[in-house]
A and B are shown apart, each in its own frame.
Chain A
Amino acid sequence: MVAPAPKIVYQRPASLATRVTHYCPGCTHGVAHRLIAEVLDEMGLREKTIGVAPVGCSVFAYNYFNHDYVEAAHGRAPAMATGIKRVLPQQTVYTYQGDGDLASIGMAEIMHAAARGEQITVVFINNAIYGMTGGQMAPTTLPGMVTTSSPGGRDVESMGFPIRMSEILAKMDGAGYIVRRSLHDPANIRKAKKAIRLAFETQERGLGFSMVELLSSCPTNWKLTPVDALTFIEDRMIPMFPLGDYKVNDEIANLRV
């Protein structure tokens, strides 16, 4: 006789707080939060981690994690993280930033944090739009994409082209790990989690600046259902922002986790 016993396949990670997020239904910010929490749990880093929240939709990220957190000014999270890491070099420090925060107002801070090889991890949410303020054009908005501040679609002649941050940051000598992943299906979410793990491994091993860019959905401001928004990532965003490893330190490339 074989008696069945239940095994937990998945449960909410301890590094996530119990608070319900303010994110819209189907917004993949929540997936990114969850993956970070799972990685911190797996690496046993929760009690030594300090997060830096941005300004944008994830402005309240500090409420959703069960570890120390600070809230930065718009775009300044990498500078704030630098200040923390330099006086507490043994602690794990990461920023969580959106595309407006990181690639527009915070361009100087992210570039120089990478140039200095700050031993911090950046989780960069690229959803091609300003979510918190209600759907304006972002530095990553696709050509032709309609937003409230590009109502006729992004005209690259007058509004410029989208910025590919992973490609740019991979050129910095101080960067140890720069990759782009997507959150649009289970296989890609698994890859995203592994990338977040490797980014934190980069920091823990002192191998330089690390960033994971995550293509993320914004069903509300894209005016799509949550499921259709994932299709939009696959069909429209990935061609503009190709997934891949843009810079991986050799030690991390050979690491098995």
Chain B
Amino acid sequence: MAKKLYKGNEAFAEAAVRAGCEGFFGYPITPSTEFLEYMAWRMPELGRAFVQAESEVAAINMVYGAACTGKRVMTASSSPGISLMMEGISYIAGTEVPCVIINVMRGGPGLGNIAPSQGDYYQMVKGGGHGDYFPIAIAPASVQEAVDLIGLSFDLAEKYRSVVHVLVDGNLGQMMEPCEMPPMQELPAPPEWAVTGAKGRDANILSSIYIEPADEEVANIRLLKRWMEIEENEVRYQEYSLEDAEIAIIAFGTSGRVSSTAVRQARAEGIKVGLFRPITLAPFPKKEISALAKRVKRILVVEMNTGMMLEDVSQCVQGQVPIEFYGRLGGMTPLPDEIYDEITRISQNMDAPASPNPRLEWVARLEKIIEGEK
């Protein structure tokens, strides 16, 4: 199929439609609104369900209800909206019904702004809702990759009866890029656990209640074991110019994409630098990053937040190699030049001792950069 120019949010929506999404429930919020607007005409055109809910709270509970019928259903929102949805997401996780949630992240906390950010890392990767559960979290770095991963997200949600979070930021949601859409998928028959009306079978009950602690413990163990299976089988990442690298950048989504440009620039200068880009943030590529730390001399983590993934990377690296950090915050996107400057700075100080807290030096450098930008 030929490539076509799509706006990110609209491409994600069409990808969901083609993956067999039969219900979309959402609430307008910048910078994800075009997703809802696209679904508003596209879903009815196909005879599928679309509701603009009264709030994100209602939207996620519509998703919850529709997910209980075993159909492929989803919502898309942005950071403050996702916070409102966390109650429902926890219930969905506790009831073990599949759904896909797209977060087009923006600057925060609070109302923050509408510019691109990766500040929802903890919320999306670690869970965000109450109780013991593990969402799958996927972070594409281009419109095409997001289109491909949305189909995968529905497959994983169904396979593991799990919540799948797709983390994109305002850049990816708003940018226009050529991409190729997958073919329309056939709609699957409802699974046997679904509530569809108890015709010729015993009644199905879907609930997140286990009033007896001993029963909840069994449910928690079931979720954990399923999660460990996911950790074993579903880790995804991309490596770029890492074969002979002495410096490895670790970055996801937009910051990964910006980093790849900086890596190309630095390679042209002969600096041995490469990029490791986690595609699944949960499950996190722990083994791979741990192995990477044995091969390289320095690691630079780049994020559009205060160093949330940095903590996960540090845990994998276990002090084997010095880690440095560079991040932009509050809706600011780092430029390739900024990351290139970091690469050259590190390459000129390869013997510098490891910092016990890479954030300390980074904040000092960042404040100087901000001063210079004024």
Residue ID in chain A nearest B195 by CB atoms: A68
In the bound assembly, the distance between CA atoms of A47 and B203 in angstroms comes to 9
Cβ-defined contact, B23 with A47, below 8 A: no
> Shortest CB–CB separation between residue A8 and chain B, in angstroms?
24
Which of B67-75, B224-232, B239-247 contacts its partner? B67-75
Residue ID in chain B nearest A77 by CB atoms: B61
Cβ-defined contact, B61 with A48, below 8 A: no
On chain B, the number of residues with a Cβ less than 8 Å from chain A's Cβ atoms is 40
In the bound assembly, the distance between CA atoms of A49 and B1 in angstroms comes to 43
Cβ-defined contact, A69 with B195, below 8 A: yes
Most chain A beta-carbon contacts within 10 A, residue among B61, B65, B71, B195: B65
Please judge, given known A-B contacts A73-B87, A73-B91, A76-B88, whether A82 and B51 are in contact too, CB under 8 Å: yes
> Shortest CB–CB separation between residue A91 and chain B, in angstroms?
5
CB of A211 within 8 Å of the partner chain: no
Cβ-defined contact, A47 with B200, below 8 A: yes
| Residues of chain A lying within 8 A (CB to CB) of residue B69 | 84, 87-88
| Residues of chain A lying within 8 A (CB to CB) of residue B203 | 17, 65-69
CB of A62 within 8 Å of the partner chain: yes
Contact of A87 among B22, B55, B200, B206 (CB under 8 A): B22
CB of A243 within 8 Å of the partner chain: no
Residue ID in chain B nearest A111 by CB atoms: B54
Q: Interface code A42-74, partner B: CB below 8 Å = 1, 0 otherwise? A: 000011111011000001101101111111110
Residue ID in chain B nearest A85 by CB atoms: B65
In the bound assembly, the distance between CA atoms of A62 and B53 in angstroms comes to 26
Please judge, given known A-B contacts A73-B91, A108-B57, whether A80 and B199 are in contact too, CB under 8 Å: no
Please judge, given known A-B contacts A47-B200, A71-B206, A84-B195, whether A108 and B58 are in contact too, CB under 8 Å: yes
In the bound assembly, the distance between CA atoms of A83 and B22 in angstroms comes to 11
Contact of B205 among A69, A86, A92 (CB under 8 A): A69
Contact of A52 among B22, B65, B73, B199 (CB under 8 A): B65
In the bound assembly, the distance between CA atoms of A109 and B59 in angstroms comes to 10
In the bound assembly, the distance between CA atoms of A84 and B48 in angstroms comes to 12
Cβ-defined contact, A86 with B49, below 8 A: yes
Most chain A beta-carbon contacts within 10 A, residue among B54, B58, B67, B207: B58
Cβ-defined contact, B198 with A84, below 8 A: no
CB of B299 within 8 Å of the partner chain: no
> Shortest CB–CB separation between residue B206 and chain A, in angstroms?
5
Cβ-defined contact, A79 with B53, below 8 A: yes
CB of A212 within 8 Å of the partner chain: no
In the bound assembly, the distance between CA atoms of A72 and B58 in angstroms comes to 11
In the bound assembly, the distance between CA atoms of A60 and B67 in angstroms comes to 20
CB of B66 within 8 Å of the partner chain: yes
> Shortest CB–CB separation between residue B45 and chain A, in angstroms?
15
CB of B209 within 8 Å of the partner chain: yes
CB of B196 within 8 Å of the partner chain: yes
CB of A112 within 8 Å of the partner chain: yes
Residue ID in chain B nearest A118 by CB atoms: B51
27 contacts between A and B (CB under 8 A): A46-B198, A47-B198, A48-B199, A53-B207, A62-B207, A65-B203, A67-B198, A68-B197, A68-B205, A69-B195, A69-B206, A70-B206, A71-B95, A71-B205, A72-B91, A73-B88, A76-B58, A79-B57, A80-B64, A80-B68, A83-B51, A83-B61, A84-B69, A86-B23, A87-B69, A91-B197, A112-B54
Residues of A in contact with B (beta carbons under 8 Å apart):
17, 46-50, 52-53, 59-60, 62-63, 65-73, 76, 79-84, 86-88, 91-92, 108-109, 111-112, 116
Q: What 8 additional pairs, Cβ within 8 angstroms, besides A62-B205, A87-B66?
A: A17-B203, A48-B199, A50-B197, A53-B207, A67-B197, A67-B203, A71-B206, A79-B64
Q: Please list the 6 inter-chain residue pairs (A to B) with the smallest Cβ-Cβ separation, ordered nearest first.
A: A83-B65, A80-B65, A71-B207, A83-B62, A79-B61, A83-B66
